[in-house]
Structure 1
């Protein structure tokens, strides 16, 4: 029996303290297993609120930790401004939104988790005097900045309409960047700000998933309930306190800061039987508005308080101890009659003292609880002969029922059945903190802490909720006591049965949990255990991936996909007997081999899979790394993975070793990806290659080209960073920055009168960028921001446009044309050469690729010149201008001149150069 108990205890401990999520049933196991082979994209906002680190954690990092570390999902993170991540989410390029406000429209396309926090919307400004927070009319005629595509705007529009305010809403990428203006934002961004107006409450903020991921939502909800809802709440609470603490500390003088550093624990007296503060035996602490205020004041100022109360619950005794300086602070209404040597802080709370009167008696007796704060106020308003004292509030109510008294004074009218009495507000009494006159500096410090925005209404609501919960708990106590023996008996039986079942099935469950369900190989969990425990092994770390597995799955069906995975697993066990083999994700297998002759084994594996290659076009990409005994096993597999990635890129490469040279290249590639993902484009800049008149050699235009120089990586070639940016769908960051620099440069050239009206600068837009929803708006913003006309610019696109959604792309091209920009086809004849489709595009310029031109002046001169001339004839029929790229020799120049090609680009005239060098050529 003891062993059964130990087993049960260990199981319970594992569930409670596990670092990873434990599926609740076989359905959840299957769901999580189905996602191991699938990469999900998580969208996170790059705002200050979401990224602010508190004790080493941000809201974004907590959500990422839950999905990656706790649920073990394969997550790729995209972090950007709200407009970009919501656009990517709508375009289904993002699967999960870390935070999103719920509304009915969004529920049509998304599923939402349990709420992770609530929010309020405020109009605010970090600058003083922008508006009067106490006068809504001060917003009339003002500009209010709001984040575009934000749900906040809808609420702002209603607020302005209902309050008859005529203000202009200006949508920007991130309203917080305009905080020095008047802007619309979350309560978390204006926690300690004085000038704010509440617009309204927002619906709950949750994690949002695309509808097709709906089977994950229950698992995410469980993770939130088990661990992460509380973690997020603690983070937000800590953030709130730090925000206020920073404001509080900045308000102190140097002398006050020194005083505060030397301050020890301060004693404060609280009433243990009062609506404003009372001692809860269930919670073993003081609760109520004043205790909650003191607790929050302590967190926001760093001042430590020690709460003291009289053992006999007698307020008069407490007050006497305070006057004798045994207690340093007491909450009191400010009244000079108390004691002329007392000083008071600003009011911390203004409760209402109620007058509860009998309908049936007209005597003048007033009842209060002896030793309560109410007794003090009764003596201010009534003579001693009219005051009757009672031991508690129940006795007070009975006296009122028996007509012994006409009136009872109470702060908390919930303490008696008020339906039988008349209830009137007697007086509102501001409560302050009372100190002795020698504590003047402490009083000033407390006043600055009190000023720092504690929400007393919210504290009162919390106190009332807890009070009602305690009353309900007391009501339930008797029934619970009666049932507890039966429940314990039932639990004991269930635990006994569960323990027995656990012992019988433990081996099977453990074995199954460690196995991949399709291949029977050890799974990712076992792989992680292996690399953490077997670090000193020598041999080869191998990572292999099935090429185009998703396409195979889509083409032949999931059953065939499962069959292929199983077949690959069986081949691996045959080729690598007695070795460490794992299926770590959808189509990825990791193997560790301690024996030599690796290449022979890999070739044998290829032979084994030949039949599958013929039937399903199945190929593997394999990377391997030779590990010595001291190297870290996890790093060895990382190196193997890098080699596998590179092998996949090199068509026809079956296996590739992770050599030092390759690892250096891959690490550089990862560094470039990191710069792009973090939007660190400080080293990215534009150079300009002149376009010139072939006959006169006069500069008549130019093309901007992207270059990158990083302080750690050095010069990064466009051939290096552009494919990487396209691979991770961030090429638009490059395009937009170069477009911005180009527009600024043409503005400077025009302002300095260095070019004429015919002169144009061109910049490139990749097809990925041209397919984005924001491309036209972005170019429009850049033109407006720099006060530049579109007719001074030319957009260059490539022939790959014909492989995109041509209808949508043409609509965007038309919108760019309406902005005044010209359109050029770049690298013509280098790609698709779809001449028949060129009339579909509103082109002004076609730029011929240098490939054919390179043969001019060589032994293939005749063939090359005939082909080039044919293309010239075809394009001229379209009534567009031709630009020849890549001119390097006099022979090429003479040929183009004789062919009536007017404009050229190339090293014979100029390589790409800096702005200053370009201006010198003008």
Structure 2
């Protein structure tokens, strides 16, 4: 929209902020789109939150612009200085800033009131963020692999590589704790590059030693941040060349959020990867916000049914119908289907009955370390054991 429009919006926001507060309060702009309101007359956290609510209300009406009406939302962090508590202006600002980021993570356009637990979380996050930069060079990262099976044949047709972090100073860190931080900070780019290279080298080794068939595939999760890296396609191409793995054996798994966040850039990267022969899968399908038109536009060769649908598939007819619909849609697109999170024989048998031909989950095998893969593959492919799971 241009700098002039941005300036006009900031001016209007400042005007509305000023009109929403008392004459005793002060409004200041401290960064590009960040404002601070200081009101020394508030006498409790509740009054401070009421002031923040007035500010949110002041921003609800659309703002006029050259291109039409525009809506501006705000994430507000509230910090209250308790009387007689030694708290510097810098500390108060830090508390408000911490609360603001909590409001952003809660979905934006809302208010968060600071409490001490937030500071503890920020400290923990900073510790993880700092250590994550050194994790690769310290060899603290490893991949575990979960087999993907052909339900009808009872054979392993692929693996999904999943990242694990064993910190030398504090033990195993959950992926739920470090993957989002890696994505936000951009560390996911070098970590993801390492993962693709390591996964493909491992697949090459398993094929060469007869652990799995020459057509076995390897699936690796890819974040929007990686797809927006201009070097990503080259990284993938070099990893394929170095490992000698055929491009058709590499599946890159993306979530539905990729189609929402800057879809044009993501689409360009995925099309270039597809042109190499690499195949693309939509992970956790059915839990995001993608439209069917976007799904049609992207070069998708596989849909992975989220465990949320698999959980109830053997007991709920409505869930079965949803899964049948997803399978029919995939067939119309010419795409494969993989069911995730299979944990019971009943689920596996129901999936087979609705013509879902591929699956993964703890019933088949949890993610396992590299050295355990040959044993796990033999156990899965034992004909009697597989027959007991599916019949």
Fold-level similarity (TM above 0.5): yes
1:663 counterpart = 2:113 = no
Rounded Cα–Cα distance in structure 2 between residues aligned with 1:684 and 1:666: 23
1:672 counterpart = 2:128 = yes
Rounded Cα–Cα distance in structure 2 between residues aligned with 1:559 and 1:915: 57
Compute the displacement of 1:776 (Å).
1.5
1:561 counterpart = 2:17 = no
Aligned position for 2:43: 596
Compute the displacement of 1:603 (Å).
0.5
Compute the displacement of 1:716 (Å).
2.8
Instruction: Describe how 1:8-19 pairs up with structure 2 within 5 A.
Output: none
SS in 1 for 2:323: helix
Structure 1 vs Structure 2 CA RMSD: 3.2
Aligned position for 1:870: 325
Aligned position for 2:225: 768
Compute the displacement of 1:781 (Å).
2.0
In the superposition, the TM-score normalised over structure 2's length comes to: 0.80
Compute the displacement of 1:770 (Å).
1.8
Compute the displacement of 1:905 (Å).
0.8
Rounded Cα–Cα distance in structure 2 between residues aligned with 1:794 and 1:612: 45
Unaligned runs of 5+ in 2: 64-71, 378-391
SS in 2 for 1:699: strand
CA contact (8 A) 1:623 1:642 kept: no
Of 274, 287, 305, which residue of structure 2 is paired with 1:848?
A: 305
CA contact (8 A) 1:688 1:912 kept: yes
Compute the displacement of 1:752 (Å).
2.0
Of 648, 651, 672, which residue of structure 1 is paired with 2:104?
A: 648
Rounded Cα–Cα distance in structure 1 between residues aligned with 2:166 and 2:80: 31
1:879 counterpart = 2:334 = yes
Aligned position for 1:799: 256
Rounded Cα–Cα distance in structure 2 between residues aligned with 1:811 and 1:612: 36
Deviations 1:129-172 (A, max 9, x none): xxxxxxxxxxxxxxxxxxxxxxxxxxxxxxxxxxxxxxxxxxxx
Instruction: Describe how 1:311-710 pairs up with structure 2 within 5 A.
Output: 558-569=7-18, 571-574=20-23, 577=24, 583-586=29-32, 587-589=34-36, 591=38, 593=40, 596-607=43-54, 610-616=57-63, 617-624=72-79, 626=81, 629-630=85-86, 633-651=89-107, 653-659=110-116, 661-676=117-132, 678=133, 680-681=135-136, 682=138, 683-710=140-167
Aligned position for 1:109: none
Aligned position for 1:753: 210
Asked which structure has the greater RCO (Cα within 8 Å, sep 6+), the reply is 2
Rounded Cα–Cα distance in structure 1 between residues aligned with 2:346 and 2:246: 38
Compute the displacement of 1:602 (Å).
3.0
Query: Based on CA coordinates, which of the two structures has the bigger radius of gyration?
Result: 1
Rounded Cα–Cα distance in structure 1 between residues aligned with 2:297 and 2:336: 16
- C-alpha spacing 1:599/1:837, structure 2 compared with 1 (3 Å): closer
1:789 counterpart = 2:246 = yes
CA contact (8 A) 2:146 2:368 kept: yes
Of 331, 336, 358, which residue of structure 2 is paired with 1:903?
A: 358
1:829 counterpart = 2:286 = yes
Of 727, 731, 738, which residue of structure 1 is paired with 2:195?
A: 738
Compute the displacement of 1:756 (Å).
1.0
Deviations 1:440-494 (A, max 9, x none): xxxxxxxxxxxxxxxxxxxxxxxxxxxxxxxxxxxxxxxxxxxxxxxxxxxxxxx
Rounded Cα–Cα distance in structure 2 between residues aligned with 1:673 and 1:648: 19
The runs of 4+ residues in structure 1 deviating greater than 6 Å are 553-556
Aligned position for 1:379: none
Unaligned runs of 5+ in 1: 1-550
Number of matched pairs: 364
Rounded Cα–Cα distance in structure 2 between residues aligned with 1:560 and 1:843: 39
Rounded Cα–Cα distance in structure 2 between residues aligned with 1:605 and 1:761: 50
